[in-house]
Structure 1
């Protein structure tokens, strides 16, 4: 039932038209007009305007019948009040805007207007044609406004849908990259735990028979390490896809020459510069740095249309700095892609940052900084030799 309840603004407009029409009709109409019949008919017609949104076809039919046909049957010119013009043409425009069958609404309106003219005056084709032209103009105005409104709404919906899809794609890219990072970090950690367990096992075998407590402690550490490694392998089965191998990742900054060799084969003049000592670089940071460079080079090949590419790796005491610079174009395409999202996710996993953007002199630059934790070197262990 709520669907048939008119809006308050439409009720107010219909009430205002009703009052204005009745005042004009009762105070300014010529003599001989049967106001007792025309007045109530005009009340129904002007009040029907309140439903011009919720039931446009019914409001048009009722309004024109009571405003035009009924006065014509009574031999009265329907256009004897200004409210008649306002209500009639507002109903016509509303029918062109809101009616689901606007052509049928126009046909009904033209027939009713023609009947209202023919009834009191007889076949006056010039008046009928004029009424049709006037009615058709208001109907076309409403129809044009309806089409424009529909196009605007569709444009807004398409824009909103495109924004939602872009957000969904960005979220999906972040999730995929985080899953990939989790798999690779799992590989790195599994490899490290495996090495630790093997070292503990080796130390346990070097103990003397009387070192019972030390052997028990090392056996506990070894057993815990093996159990943890088994659990991590089970986790890897969940994280890894069916097409991925289970070996430890071999990618790292040592593979950068091979990566740039592939870029040169694609037509790029690629240059690699490395300075500093990378002996203490953690495996996870090494892998993340390689992936960032790989993604940056891939973006250059896909979008930049570049001729030259420079990759620089600087090993600092507390950080690893990476730079990938090209002289190409295609910055909008790279800005809209999700490669930068993946690079930032990888850097953030190790507390680092990635900055990317166009250079003033042309081209695109990517700069990444990954913190490198200081390596704590264990103190040498001196084993006292027992006297023979």
Structure 2
């Protein structure tokens, strides 16, 4: 919308000139040219109300006091001053507004006393104007604070969404590339040492299927950026066997949950899936394992997922971005993540990642 800075001064000028003219006519007096000039001077100063609200209030107060000092007929000659005082208060120029009002009141009171005119009670309208201006200023500050809080909340939500998307992209890409790397290594080994084309074709087919699934998941995550997909990618518990099936280089075992409580929603399932996915990625990339076991348990009070392998163990390794992102996912639901030895029967210590996610009611009672 285009601003019309002259609309207010023109409207005030019409009110002051026409209103004072009618008031003087009723009083049996006439407006002189000097009176009209003063009635127009105040509205003219209002043109600068946005650039210098404090000086505008002072200028309008000086013009109004000059009108009183000249002894011109009474009327709505101080409308421009009242508006300037309110605008100065709302814009934050409080000292200018209160000082200008005090100067006008003092000057007008002295003039009325010297003339013996009983019009001091008429100065009470200044207090009403200043009080209205202070109330308008307080309301403006509340609106500004509310808008600032809303903007911070929107920024926080946007930051959280970007963090979720970043974690999803990391989990999908890291896992997919690790699986493709393993399958490609198997294919290379077969091509060099095993002339059986059937095994080589099977490995290449696994690479093709795994890459196709990975591309689908990456597109699903990136579609969130176009806002044409749900904010939570739909990775469900029934997809875990398919995820494990891609690990053709490892012996895998999956203990599926017995039933699914009502509180386990899509967000919880997606978090469990990502925990398993990131854990399997670390097994493939770092564990040098031959066997991995995944177990998911769901009760009315909590969800537990554990991924154990028979690899070389942690050996003092520091947590990378994947594990940090995994912890952030689980902690966002009020849960915890623990790392320890795998303790698979008849194996080396290995590594076990265990994530616990409490049910919402259980989480509230614990807090």
TM-score band w.r.t. shorter chain = 0.5 to 0.7
Q: Give distance in 2, aligned partners of 1:249 and 1:125.
A: 99
CA pair 101-194 structure 1, distance change in 2 beyond 3 A: same
Aligned to 1:105: 97
1:174-213 correspondence to structure 2 within 5 Å: 174-204=165-195
Contact 2:301 2:358 in 1 (8 A): no
Question: Counterparts of 1:327 and 1:172 in 2: how far apart (Å)?
Answer: 23
1:146 pairs with 2:120: no
Three-state SS of the structure 2 residue aligned to 1:186 is helix
- Alpha-carbon separation, structure 1, partners of 2:290 and 2:131: 69
Match of 1:24 in 2: 22
Which of 126, 150, 157 matches 2:148? 157
37, 56, 59: which is aligned to 1:62? 59
CA distance in 2, matches of 1:325, 1:101: 55
Give the equivalent residue in structure 1 for 2:231: none
Conserved? CA contact 2:54–2:97, under 8 Å: yes
User: In 1, distance between residues paired with 2:360 and 2:6?
Assistant: 61
Q: 1:13 and 2:8 equivalent?
A: no
Contact preservation (8 Å) 2:86, 2:130: yes
In structure 2, what is the equivalent of residue 310 of structure 1? none
Summarize the Cα distance change of 1:54–1:170 in structure 2 as closer, same or farther, 3 Å threshold.
same
Question: Structure 2: how far apart are the matches of 1:70 and 1:55?
Answer: 21
Distance, in Å, in 1 between the alignment partners of 2:289 and 2:143 is 51
- Give the structure-2-normalised TM-score: 0.52
Partner of 2:83: 90
Instruction: From the superposition, tell whether residues 256 and 138 of structure 1 become closer, same or farther in structure 2 (CA, over 3 Å).
Output: same
Q: 2 CA distance for matches of 1:38 and 1:152?
A: 40
**Among 70, 73, 89, the residue aligned to 2:69:** 73
1:1-388 mapped onto 2 (5 Å cutoff):
7-21=5-19, 23-24=21-22, 27-31=25-29, 35-67=32-64, 69-76=65-72, 80-81=74-75, 83-98=76-91, 100-122=92-114, 128=120, 131=123, 133-204=124-195, 247=285, 254-257=292-295, 298=330, 302=334, 328-329=360-361
Contact 1:188 1:248 in 2 (8 A): no
Shift of residue 200, structure 1, vs aligned partner: 1.7
Q: Which runs of 4+ in 1 moved over 6 A?
A: 123-126, 249-253, 267-272, 294-297
Q: Distance in 1 between matches of 2:55 and 2:70?
A: 23
**Residues 72 and 10 of structure 1, relative CA distance in 2, 3 Å threshold:** closer
Partners of 1:300 and 1:7 in 2: how far apart? 51
What SS does the corresponding residue of 1:46 show, helix, strand or coil? helix
After TM superposition, give the deviation of residue 142 of structure 1 in Å: 1.0
| Matched position secondary structure for 2:293 | helix
Q: Which runs of 5+ in 2 are unaligned?
A: 201-206, 208-281, 306-322, 337-355
Instruction: Give 1:248 shift.
Output: 5.5
Q: Which moved more, 1:191-200 or 1:101-110?
A: 101-110
1:302 match: secondary structure: coil
Larger radius of gyration, structure 1 or 2? 1
Identify unmatched segments of 5+ residues in structure 1: 207-213, 219-224, 226-243, 273-290, 305-323, 334-388
What TM-score results when the alignment is normalised by the length of structure 1? 0.50
| TM-fit CA distance, 1:150 | 2.0
8 Å CA contact 1:14–1:47 kept in 2: the answer is no
> SS of the counterpart of 1:256?
strand
Count of aligned residue pairs for this structure pair: 244
Task: Return the offset for 1:102.
Answer: 0.7
CA change 1:141–1:300 in 2 (3 A) is closer
